[in-house]
Amino acid sequence: MAVEIIKVDAKSIFTKTKTPNAKYVVNQYIGCEHGCVYCYAKFMCRWRDYGKWGSWVEAKMNAPELARKYVTGKVVMSSISDPYQPVEKELQLTRRILQDMDKRTELSILTKSNLRLRDVDLLKEFNKIEVGLTINNFEGKMKELFEPHSPNNEERINSLKNLKKDGIKTFAFISPVIPELIDINILISKSRDFVNYYIVEMMNINAAGKEFRKLLKKNYPKSYEILIDKDMFEEFMDVTKNVLIESGVSVPQFVTHYPKFEVVDLCAK
């Protein structure tokens, strides 16, 4: 798929956020070539008239200079894009930000790509850094339907393994958790040796959008039924929480969007 790259200059790059446990987000890219159908960030299409989510990326070309400003508090990279999506190979905005950023910055990077391996030398220079990989069980038909352009799950788990080997603090972001389709036990058994902790996020069926809801209803009707039924969904959430608690892994953030937005620390249970 041809992706339109729109190069712009931004006024600032550190944006205050309500993301749990973070003070700022940095988005050197807006838009994402991975084009996951359920992506919650596609709401950005309301303010960017460039076309369908996944078909365009806005690149803030002056982001590295703007990122030189030192800020205190946790900085999350990125919230409405993937910092290591394919265009990064050519533009290198993420790499240049890492080069220019004050190494005292408390930085948390989230990606689905193993391109971040390229930057291990720079990651190691930070005093306080963590890198997370989103993992899920989407394979075969499910992967084609939901995440056609992102690296596969095995590559992401390998990325965690390599980061750990390089001495970088890691976390796995298990998302989106969809009833019947995500097997938490399998994901934990494949990744627990390579991560310091997990963030687990239940599917946000509203933010995932109409196209995703239609796709899910048609191909996985049982999952859809559970997601839209409050009682069934709450029961599914309780079962998921218990699986996580019994597994013994650290889950400081269990995120739900329905019936209300909530972030629960399962380590405290």
Q: How far is the CB of 39 from ligand SF4 (least distance, A)?
A: 3
Between strands 56-60 and 29-30, the pairing is: antiparallel
Exactly one of 13, 25, 30, 36 binds ligand SF4 (CB under 6 A); which one?
36
Could you tell me if 187 and 139 are in contact, meaning their C-beta atoms sit under 8 angstroms apart? Answer: no
The footprint of ligand SF4 on residues 145-184 (CB under 6 A) is 150
Task: Select from 33-41, 67-75, 191-199, 225-233 the region that touches ligand SF4 (CB under 6 A).
Answer: 33-41
Could you tell me if 113 and 84 are in contact, meaning their C-beta atoms sit under 8 angstroms apart? Answer: yes
Cβ neighbours, 10 Å, residue 89: 12
For the purposes of burial, counting CB atoms within 10 Å of the CB of 243, is it exposed (0-12), middle (13-18) or buried (19 or more)?
middle
Instruction: Determine, following the binding rule CB under 6 A, whether residue 136 of this chain makes contact with ligand SF4.
Output: no
| β strands within 54-189, DSSP E | 56-60, 74-77, 106-111, 128-135, 169-177
Exactly one of 30, 35, 97, 159 binds ligand SF4 (CB under 6 A); which one?
35
Sign for the pseudo-dihedral over CA of 258, 35, 160, 117: negative
Q: How far is the CB of 230 from ligand SF4 (least distance, A)?
A: 25
Exactly one of 13, 26, 30, 39 binds ligand SF4 (CB under 6 A); which one?
39
Q: How far is the CB of 73 from ligand SF4 (least distance, A)?
A: 23
Nearer to ligand SF4, 13 or 241 (CB): 13
Instruction: Determine, following the binding rule CB under 6 A, whether residue 135 of this chain makes contact with ligand SF4.
Output: no
Instruction: Determine, following the binding rule CB under 6 A, whether residue 32 of this chain makes contact with ligand SF4.
Output: yes
Binding track over 186-225 against ligand SF4, x by CB under 6 A = ----------------------------------------
Grouping H, G, I as helix, E, B as strand and the rest as coil, residue 78 is coil
Q: How far is the CB of 25 from ligand SF4 (least distance, A)?
A: 12
Exactly one of 13, 26, 30, 41 binds ligand SF4 (CB under 6 A); which one?
41
Nearer to ligand SF4, 50 or 247 (CB): 50
Strands in 4-8's sheet, in edge-to-edge order, are 4-8, 56-60, 29-30
Q: How far is the CB of 98 from ligand SF4 (least distance, A)?
A: 19
Nearer to ligand SF4, 136 or 191 (CB): 136
Place of tokens 């930000």: 97
Q: Torsion over CA of 229, 230, 235 and 240, rounded to 10 degrees?
A: 90
Binding track over 103-132 against ligand SF4, x by CB under 6 A = ---------x--------------------
Task: Select from 28-36, 69-77, 96-104, 163-171 the region that touches ligand SF4 (CB under 6 A).
Answer: 28-36
Could you tell me if 44 and 31 are in contact, meaning their C-beta atoms sit under 8 angstroms apart? Answer: yes
Contacts 24+ apart (CB under 8 A), 89-93: 89/115, 91/5, 91/59, 91/61, 93/28, 93/29, 93/59, 93/60, 93/61, 93/63, 93/64
Q: Note the residues at the interface with ligand SF4 (CB under 6 A).
A: 32, 34-36, 39, 41, 81-82, 112, 150
